[in-house]
Structure 1
Amino acid sequence: MAVALETAEYDVVIVGGGPVGLLMAYQLQRFSVSACVLEQHDKNTQDAFGRAIALFPRTTEQLDQLDTIDPMLQLGFACRTSVTYKDGERIVPGRVWTFMEKMGDTTYDFTLVLRQMYTEAILREKVESVGASYSQSTECIDFEIRKMILRNAITSD
């Protein structure tokens, strides 16, 4: 969504369109706080290989509370165990995610494995669905705060 940033005004400007920035804009907009996300990279051409692929149960629970988890569950896969290899040999136990093998007390008793590019694509759709602005290939060089309003201030006199 292209935005005329020279004249736009927002309650909150978020620099960085990764998962945290997108979730912040989504939640702010849901609370009627106007938000804009500026991402310097073109996310349509991001690397096709993985990084930040694991969503652990508490994160998945929070995404469920934010009404964003269903499309992620459709694209990702559940991981309840792991295997680690060293020098071509299997190391037992998995070492990395052994805590996942006895996960309980949650609906999401697994690690959701989903590449970050898909997580971000889903979150961008959510951001735009609530009316928050998202602009990629946009570098934040400078900004100006025109007014600051403090409401409901409580002093300790």
Structure 2
Amino acid sequence: MTDAATDVVIIGGGPVGLFMAALLLQRGLRVAVLEQRTGPEPHSRAIGIHPPALDALRHVGVDQELVRRGVPIRRGIALNRGTMLAEMSFARVSELFPFVLSLPQGRTEAVLEGRLQELDPDALRRGMRVEGLHDDGRQVTVQACLGGRSVRFAAPLVIAADGVRSAARAALGVPLRRRDYPDRYLMGDFADGTGLGPDAALFLASGGIVESFPLPGKLRRWVVRLGPAGAPAGSSADAAWLAREVRRRTGVGVDPGSNSMLSGFGVRSRLARRLVVGRCILIGDAAHEISPIGGQGMSLGWLDALALAPLVPELMAGNRNGLPAFERQRMRQAARAARQSEINMALGRPLREGPLTARNSVLAAAAAVPAVNSFVARRFTMQ
């Protein structure tokens, strides 16, 4: 069967797809958002919302609600063996949002979905598995499956925001620039008894970096870089192991019994060689998978959507003049984010004691220079 006519089909109802839909609905366009999940995802890794992304989210009126629910991180500190090596304030990175907001992705999605419901309660279609796309030059037909039943959606424009395993990207045959990294990490959320408050902390230990971020509800996320083989032989990478490793590298005690999330992950980058294929456009993780270290991926997707939204009415009228510049700019920004994540990972790799001491001394000296500190703060917050 063919669904009712719509102006734009958005494939993917995650944070980027929901934001894209809200932007277009506010412009008076009809939108259908096809999401494979039948309900919200309770476990998610992404927590960081950078100032440019908060400014983007302001366009659909959810920024203040997100800030109310999250933890504004206004300062990052670097430590080694209990000694502070450097601190970095975000006070001057943005007039409106001088912080990085920490909020689990699931809660961010809930706020965006609530806004979408206000704009059009029928826009989000859950349980839709996309199986194919056909672009005849005038419109795109999206073939989907809902509970074993075939459903077709036809629209002049399709925007794919369906994540790193994008079915739309695969159907369009878009090639990727691929890079795999040796870095592996284990992260977990625990009750926060550190006294670090709303600060983010980087512990520059010889065995590899340990990162720590505040979360709502008096929780704190710990991220530990693992060795090449992951957890040591004979040890299971569970909450108890992570708590022991945090104490060994940082001296900070963590209660393993308070663990509420545990996840291991590797690192890779995947950059689409094209974002525009006929009447289909890739954004978010469908267009660029970036290392989670640095927390840029979700924010980068929102900035894709914000850049695309003003072009959509023109595209509906047959004017594609803005697409080449959009594609170049967003691909350039994704490549820059990938390079920044490589720098972040390099700083966190294990070092022998001598090189570690030298590296940490250089970092401390550089951070003490106001111009350098300000530059790094802006780069870290995607300015």
Please tell me the TM-score bracket, short chain as reference.
Answer: 0.7 to 0.9
Cα distance in structure 2, aligned partners of 1:18 and 1:154: 26
1:26 to 1:93, Cα distance in 2 relative to 1, 3 A = farther
Deviation string, structure 1 residues 11-36 (Cα, Å, up to 9, x no partner):
11111111111111101111111111
Deviation string, structure 1 residues 65-120 (Cα, Å, up to 9, x no partner):
3211122112101111235678xx557447xxx65x14414121011111100111
**Contact 2:21 2:33 survives alignment (8 Å):** yes
Moved over 6 A (4+): none
**Contact 2:10 2:17 survives alignment (8 Å):** yes
1:52 aligns with 2:42: no
Listed as ranges, the matches of 1:116-131 within 5 Å are 116-131=105-120
**Contact 1:11 1:33 survives alignment (8 Å):** yes
**Contact 2:15 2:109 survives alignment (8 Å):** yes
SS of residue in 1 equivalent to 2:101 = strand
Higher relative contact order (CA 8 A, sep 6+): 1
Aligned residue pair count? 143
Listed as ranges, the matches of 1:2-151 within 5 Å are 6-44=2-40, 46-48=41-43, 50-83=44-77, 89=81, 92-93=84-85, 101-104=89-92, 105-131=94-120, 133-143=123-133, 147-148=138-139, 151=317
Identity of aligned residues (%): 24
Cα distance in structure 2, aligned partners of 1:91 and 1:23: 42
Cα distance in structure 2, aligned partners of 1:28 and 1:20: 12
**Contact 2:74 2:99 survives alignment (8 Å):** yes
**Contact 1:57 1:106 survives alignment (8 Å):** no
**Contact 2:90 2:99 survives alignment (8 Å):** no
| Structure with the bigger percentage of helix | 2
| Structure with the bigger percentage of strand | 2
Larger radius of gyration: 2
- Over the aligned positions, Cα root-mean-square deviation in angstroms equals 3.0
**Contact 1:40 1:137 survives alignment (8 Å):** yes
Q: Which runs of 5+ in 2 are unaligned?
A: 140-155, 157-315, 322-383
Offset at residue 143 of structure 1 (A): 4.5
Cα distance in structure 2, aligned partners of 1:125 and 1:73: 15
**Contact 1:40 1:139 survives alignment (8 Å):** yes
1:47 to 1:85, Cα distance in 2 relative to 1, 3 A = farther
Q: Which runs of 5+ in 1 are unaligned?
A: none
